[in-house]
Amino acid sequence: MARTAEDSRFQLQKDRMLKAAAHCFNQKGYSGTSLKDVADMLGLTDAALYYYVRNKEELVYLCYVRAADVGREAMAQAVKDGHNGLDKVIRYLQNHVEFMVGDHGPIAIMSEIPSLKPVHRDEVLELSRKHSTAFEALIEEGIADDSIKDCDVRMTGNAIMGSVNWIPKWYHGDPAVARRIVNEIPQILASGLTR
């Protein structure tokens, strides 16, 4: 039982570290962020971060894996709860946006993929492709069930996902803005899909 509590503590601290790192990477980019920046934000020593990661490259990689996990969670919930393609798209957008600006956030923007070593880059790109494919499948489902008008699925998916994934770049933690983002952005992005 003690091991489980220790694992939970480790995971909570690691999640806290990844949120702080996401904030730093989103604001300053990969080259502008140091492990010291992340440690300072957490009130830790630089050495304390080495308990969780070997270097900055591994830290950005873990941030991207976490971002993919959050997106996958948002998608799974939407698929489970949605009634048709359009409803699933809207629920996914609401879930994902709420995760980004709520307790799950901040989420790292995947803008520094070239800085990853090849094995990490390949894994992150594959996670991203799978997520894009799953989102496009929701659009295709909506076209098939007549809840979404006919469109170029790939272009539409890329436009919507690009908009969603850029939110962490311009959202800076204001709760009033977060509420507006959650209430308005999914509807704005989905409005072009409806018949």
The 10s digit of each residue's pLDDT in 44-96 is: 998 889 889 999 999 999 999 999 999 999 999 999 999 999 999 999 999 99
At 10 the pLDDT is 85
At 1 the pLDDT is 47
56-191 maps to CATH 1.10.357.10? yes
At 123 the pLDDT is 98
Instruction: Give the residue carrying structure tokens 């080259």.
Output: 31
147 within 8 A of 1, measured Cβ to Cβ: no
Q: Which residues of the chain have pLDDT under 50?
A: 1
At 4 the pLDDT is 81
Residue 171 is which amino acid?
A: Y
At 3 the pLDDT is 63
Name the residue among 168, 57, 183, 75 with its Cα closest to residue 128: 75
CB atoms within 10 A of CB 23: 22
Rounded Cα gap, residues 185 and 180, in angstroms = 8
At 5 the pLDDT is 78
